[in-house]
Structure 1
């Protein structure tokens, strides 16, 4: 590449770099990455094979690529920048101050991405838990995920997951209501609407950004969510977390990849015990058989973090509350809607809308109520197991 082309591209990326990232380094890496069959992961592996960089990661990466990019590469990289700019992204290079320190630990022996683009807030340095599991999750699974994430966030623990439907979405929704907050690791570039329902205007991702969270991706902005890319982001989820909790997943679930990546980094893994008759219990039950700790309540998660900055949130009910003429674990607003509809079922979304309560609060309460035998989850929604008592809430 000519010196002029490199300097011009470096000037263009200046407004996109995260704090501490050198524009010249980012420009050269982008010019390298736009050409087919050249990957940033390949650069990491080459450095790992040599025993790591002699200096900083940024210097070593620049030395690898700067003689192998040309003006056409620079032009192609330049065309990508408006897409990141429109999403408000900042891009960091591994080892730089703006790159998550957990993810950079022992790099390049560990497989943190070379680049990380972030829209919204960077992941905080607070204790962090990854809550992961199946897309085709049961109502029990999404409720457990919400219960755990709600308690973690209320205790100041940051919650990270992959932004997928099912378990991931339940965890994100519950966590964004609390002080811990949440981050999403995308399985595509920032300029790709996936999952479509979460990426639409007013969807989950917009709510996370509005709530002070962040969307992260190692991919260039227009990269689609191919299977290998979606699964590869699981290692980033694990790398950002101090602890991984697997809620549900089949025998080939991506949640097992997240758990494996955490174990490779020496970070603890917990699993939620599941019904042995259900396919969604295969992943957590396998992890339990292999020695993972059991997570049966938020206290298990918080204890595993082993941090004196974390305490069980007082806002998460651990025992049923006394009400008029009966015991219930449900918030007054949720019980009222179920009682009014009985014997008809009400969907989870319907209860969230009608009660006016946060999604995480409702889903967690429904899970506790199912465990307590007060509520039955059916294909058409949730219903009280017994007829409501007159005068009850």
Structure 2
């Protein structure tokens, strides 16, 4: 619990940096000699390219409040340390990016520094965005500058001392930030390199799908190895398709289907990933989706999990779980846990069922599972919430049963684990 709290502190305080450079900083940074001609930013082809890249980066999700104008900011993320608002990135001169040059934008994206040279907090995922090419950054800037200006003054964050102290970022950056554009691997195909560029850069997949240490930095070099998403109480699974990976056995088509429609033969997107599919990946070009799948399939095998060594007698909880499963789950997901293709996702071998913590299965059972509405799957089936029908003991039992039946061998979930997530908001 302490580890998660520290991670949340370090990562979520970052949004304060966005507010700070819109409201507090004073001295501008010297302009680069390579200023972009204003006329070049009005090229329709460049703007169209930038719009697509902004979708790839899922920029609108963070920079749009519920019911608000797209990209006008104001989305508030509640945390134990206060509310964190996102900034306006429309070209309004007073409250947005209207007075920004391309060099200002490039500095933020590539170097993690604000318009006035201040360090940005890493809730803005510059640790990934630094890999974006300068040409792509220019296209994105052209698109954002083409939007209708929206006057939307920044909301003030309610961060408490010492979480708003910025000087510590110098040490954090020395440990965790490696500035530099994506470098092609000449030994790999063009398709692999495109997939790696999208996943590592604009897609910023590792920001969620990687474990973080007590300082909020990514642990070791375990790329896309899975991790709990700070403050959201979801677990983003390991993305390796090889032995012991979170997507072990997934085909290229399975990955493409999930990203395009929110559903595949191996699983369904829900929680934060459902929003990513809705806002971003369903709109990607087919060749980019294929490239992402090719890259993910190249991720290495993972070490086998050590067998659980617990003195707990699981037979009573498994018996209770089997009873609940038979009454509440088997009609849709099948007695064999294999679901119904294209309708109900399988639980047998499901990466979200087998993830290390059990958080995802607990939350879906309590709060319901809602697949994204996409062009490829406009009327998805949803799972109803069972929070009112099942006790904490029932939820723990059925989650344990699902995680330890068929080919699944995940750890036991206890009643006290369920208590933590019963009243946790969906996002």
TM-score category, normalised to shorter length: under 0.3
Structure with a larger share of its residues in helix = 1
- State TM-score, norm by structure 2: 0.23
- State TM-score, norm by structure 1: 0.24
Structure with a larger share of its residues in strand = 1
